[in-house]
Amino acid sequence: MRDPWEQLRRGLVLGSQELYDRAHALIANKRGQEEARWSRLEEADAVKQRVRQLVGSLTDERIKIWARIRLGGERGVELAREYGYRSGAGVTLLVRRLEASAQQDRKLKRILENLRTHAFRKL
């Protein structure tokens, strides 16, 4: 038998997609601190998924990592594990070097700006 807690959505809703959508709509109309925090988490998750879609077809892993950290808000430690780095420090260094390279390389700069624009488009 499956554990019902595995179906808990965003730490708030345990039930169907319809129930989740109703809870989301109710929370969107509230102005409390907890509701605002939950809404920000929801938006951040949508941006994270959007960034993953955007970089899915790219071949340059440096750009993928940069986008997922800077735009998607993912942690360097998690990406270090995924991409085979020894620690998150290596990923952080990669991101800094890529940003420094973009200051000199117009094509790279344009790619990063294009990703930034598309990642934060209204979903």
Model confidence pLDDT, tens digit, residues 12-33: 677 788 887 887 777 777 777 6
Please state the pTM of the whole predicted model.
0.67
Residue 3 forms part of a structural domain: no
Strand positions, DSSP E, 1-123:
8-9, 13-14
Domains held by the chain: number: 1
Per residue in 79-90, pLDDT (tens digit) is: 999 999 999 999
What mean pLDDT is reported for the chain?
A: 83
Residue 123 has pLDDT above 60, yes or no: no
Q: Enter the tokens of residue 52.
A: 């993953």
Read off the tokens for 56: 């899915």
pLDDT classification of 63: cutoffs 50, 70, 90: very high
Residue 117 identity (one-letter amino acid): T
In a domain, 1, yes or no: no
pLDDT, residue 41, reads 67
- 44 in a domain, yes or no? yes
Contact 79, 71 (CB under 8 A): no
Residue range 40-57: average pLDDT? 80
How many whole angstroms separate alpha carbon 67 and alpha carbon 54? 9
Instruction: For residue range 91-115, list pLDDT tens digits in order.
Output: 999 999 999 999 999 999 999 999 9
Q: Which domain holds residue 98?
A: 8-119
SS3 108: helix
